[in-house]
């Protein structure tokens, strides 16, 4: 669309599996993985290295942060913070994507600080269960 820049962009080293729908005016950054039968509505932004599980649906104008992971069969209705793990219908934050952070070389102290920040952002909502120990 004219407002969206009139193009959909898929970055380098992405893995887009079979049956995926990528809507108009989407941006998928480098290294993202979109698993089988996932659907992205228009104007969705997927950050670098993010993973979207199979059969998940992403509502229009939602941003999936870099390094985030969306569990399979999730319905994502709101933005997903970077390096978090979300799942469910509707998707809820279940903590940090610890595997993704470790693969990127994050140290224990960095992960601990990120967990503290996530707890602060969630402001007690789901916070007790959301951030398992690194």
**24 is known as an active-site residue:** yes
User: By the 8 A CB rule, do 38 and 54 touch?
Assistant: yes
Q: Scanning the structure block, which residue is given the tokens 């998940």?
A: 56
Q: Cis (ω within 30 of 0) for the bond into 90? A: yes
Residue 6 is predicted with a pLDDT of 76
State the catalytic residue, choosing from 21, 24, 43, 94.
Answer: 24
Residue 131 is predicted with a pLDDT of 53
Could you list the pLDDT tens digit for every one of the 134 residues in the chain? 667 677 999 999 999 999 999 999 999 999 999 999 999 999 999 999 999 999 999 999 999 999 999 999 999 999 999 999 999 999 999 999 999 999 999 999 999 999 999 988 887 655 444 455 55
């Amino acid at each position: 669309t004219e407002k969206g820049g009139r193009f959909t962009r898929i970055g380098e080293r992405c893995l887009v599996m079979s049956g995926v729908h990528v809507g108009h005016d989407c941006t998928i950054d480098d290294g993202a993985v979109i698993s089988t039968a996932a659907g992205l509505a228009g104007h969705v932004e997927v950050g670098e290295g993010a993973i979207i599980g199979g059969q998940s649906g992403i509502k229009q104008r939602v941003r999936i942060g870099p390094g985030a992971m969306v569990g399979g069969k999730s319905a994502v209705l709101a933005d997903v913070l970077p390096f978090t793990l979300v799942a469910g219908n509707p998707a809820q934050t279940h903590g940090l994507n610890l595997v993704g952070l470790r693969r990127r070389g994050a140290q224990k102290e960095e992960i601990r600080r990120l967990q503290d920040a996530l707890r602060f952002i969630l402001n007690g909502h789901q916070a007790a269960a959301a951030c398992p120990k690194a």
